[in-house]
Structure 1
């Protein structure tokens, strides 16, 4: 099931210790983990997601949620003994939506970052990387600083904003023109601006850059090797320890029974496997 809500919001941020980060195996796996009472009664878990990041998460031609994150969320729900519902929201409002109770958890390629962990907890399940998308035929890049003086698209609240800020700091020290970063609400809008020539580059998740370049090889090309490899995680409210324990147990089961490995193999993303 999917419900779409695109609302304005600020990306706030949330803290999980290193033990939790690599401690998915803690605790014995259970066939059906204990759930919060309301979830146990409804037999459903609602995931907030920004479905504009193919092949990780997107809306397919049949107007249904699709992608590795959707497969992952549905599989996670199955291990919890419930059914997944999907709430399609703007990325910039995804954490506020979780904190305010509009959904039970986030499954949306949400990077695990220190600032986010001040507000929510995250349980890691795979890696992703970053790259740059250019118009087909443009010269390749060796680093983000080579975008000096160019208009570059990024998605509001995404990790690429931080990386572009770092590149601009380096350019300032070198006395070179900064990158002109233009924020868009989602990947579709940013990609359209690159296609129309309104920006000269689009900083985006590597998996998505490859997807678009393969989909339209005459339009786009991946400009740089993947960089900034970072884990993504299930986002959870800090005041929801029962659900966090249940999902930790379910993730442990998915690792042990090979479900997670099979999922990443299906999407040709085995390189994004977390260390055991």
Structure 2
């Protein structure tokens, strides 16, 4: 999951500000193999034509083999996850990244990785782009460039009907699940610290390696709530046969970014131009609608470095 740079709700207090350093995106168990999040929506990914001007901006070492190699952790539906065959990587990020590659005249190649290994893999030239729900943060842009393409926040999910009246500000003493390595780990830690500082019981945190396991823990009543990125919660609501609902509005909204190595000439601008072209021609909107994440749409893409 990506690290997020974001403000903390006032209820958490100033002490929480020092805690928010990890990130959302995908976790993984070290193998890079994600669990299936279900079948893809029936609508096919839109076909995209090459943009010769943008393709000409791609550095020769990247363009020479005709491939664009993406690193992703396919355990974070609906953004990136494996199809029901357990092998094919699908999701919103995959459809958008594939369209970016096509704009640049390249064939996408998606490689499943442990989340923590993607940025080092980009810095070490294993991957040419990283697309795995990475939030854009100052810490990340010190070492890599990022191209914005979506916004997302943290959402709270509970059992349908919310029989316990759970809300973000009354989690003290409750069993709450988060995925390891995500910004939600820091969020829940700060909330739990606020509980104990107010002489209330600490939050009973369940931290699991795969987001799909966190969702399963909620639907099987092993936890009473979960925190996850807003697209992930929205997807869980639509794919759990009515067992899950979201509570309130997302908070700490921040942009996602495509990750690429620094000092690559016009490559970052080529990727930004591809995303912007997809926004302008409607492909972007169709992909977001397909995966039910249209509320995270951005009007323009930017390079953050």
- Structure 1-normalised TM-score? 0.80
Unaligned regions of 5+ residues in structure 2, if any? Answer: 1-27, 33-51, 301-305
The answer for the alignment partner of 1:21 in structure 2 is none
Q: Please, which of 127, 138, 148 is the counterpart of residue 172 of structure 2?
A: 148
The answer for the alignment partner of 2:282 in structure 1 is 258
Q: Post-superposition, which runs of at least 4 consecutive aligned residues in structure 1 deviate over 4 A? A: none
How many angstroms apart in 2 are the aligned matches of 1:114 and 1:181? 28
Does 1:136 find its partner at 2:160?
Answer: yes
Does 1:235 find its partner at 2:283?
Answer: no
Unaligned regions of 5+ residues in structure 1, if any? Answer: 10-28
Q: CA deviation at 1:100?
A: 2.6
Q: CA deviation at 1:65?
A: 1.7
- Alignment check: 8 A CA contact 2:54 2:273 kept: no
Q: Please, which of 166, 177, 202 is the counterpart of residue 201 of structure 2?
A: 177
Secondary structure (helix, strand or coil) at the match of 1:228 reads strand
Deviates more, 1:126-135 or 1:79-88: 126-135
What do the CA deviations read for 1:92-135 (whole angstroms, capped 9, x no partner)?
33323322322111111111123322332211011122212223
- Alignment check: 8 A CA contact 1:124 1:231 kept: yes
Matching of residues 93-242 of structure 1 within 5 Å: 93-138=117-162, 139-143=164-168, 145-242=169-266
Q: Please, which of 264, 272, 275 is the counterpart of residue 296 of structure 2?
A: 272
Secondary structure (helix, strand or coil) at the match of 1:223 reads strand
How many angstroms apart in 1 are the aligned matches of 2:174 and 2:202? 8
Residues 152 and 117 from structure 1, CA distance in 2 versus in 1: closer, same or farther, beyond 3 angstroms?
farther
How many angstroms apart in 2 are the aligned matches of 1:117 and 1:162? 20
Does 1:248 find its partner at 2:258?
Answer: no
The answer for the alignment partner of 2:72 in structure 1 is 49
How many angstroms apart in 1 are the aligned matches of 2:281 and 2:91? 21
The answer for the alignment partner of 2:56 in structure 1 is 33
Secondary structure (helix, strand or coil) at the match of 1:94 reads helix
How many angstroms apart in 2 are the aligned matches of 1:178 and 1:239? 46
What do the CA deviations read for 1:42-91 (whole angstroms, capped 9, x no partner)?
11111111112222221112432222111100000011110101011122
Q: CA deviation at 1:264?
A: 2.1
What do the CA deviations read for 1:209-232 (whole angstroms, capped 9, x no partner)?
222222223533323432222210
- Structure 2-normalised TM-score? 0.73
